[in-house]
Every structure is written in structure tokens, then in C-alpha cells.
Amino acid sequence: MFNGFDLTPVQKIGHIWLKRDDLFEVYGVNGGKARACFAYTRNSAVGLLTAAARQSPQSVIVAAIADGMGLPCRIHTVSGAITEELNRARQLSAELIFHRPGYGSVIARRAFDEAASTGWTLVPFGMECSEAVLLAAHQAANIPSAAQRLVVPVGSGMTLAGILRALRQKGRQLPVIGIVVGADPTRRLDKWGPRGWRAMVELHWSRWPYKRPANDVQLGQVALDPIYEAKCAPYLADEDCLWIVGHRRSSSWRG
């Protein structure tokens, strides 16, 4: 597994620490999900396939990395209006394949079947792969010792699984608050997190629906992703550390 990535920095805004994993960038997309996707696909030679929700940044991440690698890309998604994310993926030369009904299990299965028949690399739905867990664990090395709690936005749960594995390995007793945005992540945490992970983290379901962006997306001078990190802001207290996984408005959005 490729682990040749430097630690992304930590900074402090007022009384809040920030783990700036959004400052990792590859092929114009940023954050921990982009890092995991790049590590997962770096030896691909035919094409990239994935399944993604219409609002998910995964479509842009996979499309941008495929484009940067000079590979074709196909994205299986849900029938409906073209979102900003899907439009950007299409601008990056990805082909969109729409499905109805649009359950996650349906689009994931369609992408899996196509990968099996074509030999293209399948980037798992929700970036569910060992690279996502191990690379997140590596990045946990510089969570500030002065932080009183760690607050993490939780989508698929893969970043949180890696963080909890690192804390367990280091024996660090740091309270962790996970703000769940979207579907229940516990199945993936059961599979990828450390044994007894439930005793290590307090999960809260976001008060905003997944598709609805948060109203306040700024923390000082730092812009937060409106679907994920910005929904963590109401839970922050002094001396907390917010783990910023990424931001969909990376340079890939600027054409």
C-alpha cells in the first residue's frame, strides 16, 4: 500500500484547532478521499469506474484523477437533475450512467458488474477500501496534543475508522465526536474500525438533511464544505479539533 504522503498541517483559528487534510491536492481535487482514490488507482491502465450519489464529491474526485492519468471514466449514479458535482465530472470527460431506482446498493452493483466485464478499476462506493483507512490513520499522527476533543464529519465512515484505529494503536484517550451526514455508517465502522469502536466515539446525526447545505460555511478565514464540515460547526467547543476531510470547491472546479 502506497504511504508516501506527508502529513497535512494543523492550524488554529481562534479557540478551534483544524486538521487541514483538505490541503492535500492531486490532479486538482483535494482531501483525504482524493488521496485514497489516487493511492487506490495509481496502477490503473484501462479506465476508472465508480458509483456515487448525485451530490457526492466522489464523482468529481474519480473523474479528475482519471482525467489526470489520461484514462476514461464512467460514473454510475441516480436518475434526476444534473447536480453541480455531476456536471463538473462530465466536464472532466466522465461518462454518466443513470439508474432508477437510485438506491446506493443498485448503483454500486451496476458499477461492480461493469468493472467485472471490462477490467476497468472500480473505485468503491463511499471510498470503502483499505487505502482510505490506512492513510487516514497515518494522518492522525499530528492531531494536536492540546486538543480537548476531535470532531469529525462522517459520511461513509472510512476516515473515522482510520482515525479510531490510530488512536487505539497509540493508546490515546481523546474524546471523539462524529457528526453523521447521510446514511448510517455503523456497518462500515463495524468492518473497518477497531474492535470496540463504539466506546471511542460519540455519534450525532446532523440536524440538516444530507442534500441541504449548511447556512454558515466559514470558520474564520477557512471555507468549510457545505454538505459535510460546515454541519459540524454547531458542535464545536473551545479547544476542539475539527478534522477537515476535504472541500468540493477545489481547483478542479475552476475549469
Domain presence at residue 181: yes
Last residue of a domain, one of 66, 98, 127: 127
Domain-located, residue 5: no
Answer yes or no: is pLDDT of 255 > 50.
Answer: no
Rounded average pLDDT over 128-149: 97
pLDDT at 138: 97
Question: Which one, of 158, 106, 34, 65, lies nearest residue 114 by Cα?
Answer: 106
Q: Is 10 left (phi over 0), alpha (psi -120 to 50) or beta?
A: beta
- 169-226 per-position pLDDT tens digit: 999 999 999 999 989 999 999 999 999 999 999 999 998 998 899 999 999 999 999 9
Q: How many domains does the chain have?
A: 2
Q: Residue 247 sits in which domain range?
A: 10-28+129-254
Burial class (CB in 10 A: 0-12, 13-18, 19+), 166: buried
- Residues 16 and 107 both lie in one domain: no
User: Are the C-beta atoms of 131 and 161 separated by less than 8 Å?
Assistant: no
The residue type of 203 is L
16 plus 99 within the same structural domain: no
User: Is the pLDDT confidence value at 29 over 90?
Assistant: yes
Average pLDDT of the segment spanning 23-51: 96
* Residue 3 pLDDT: 55
Supply the pTM of this predicted model.
Answer: 0.93
User: Domain end: 109, 127, 145, which one?
Assistant: 127
* Domain limit, last residue, from 69, 98, 127: 127
Cell 483499505 maps to which residue? 130
Which CATH number goes with the domain that contains 108?
3.40.50.1100
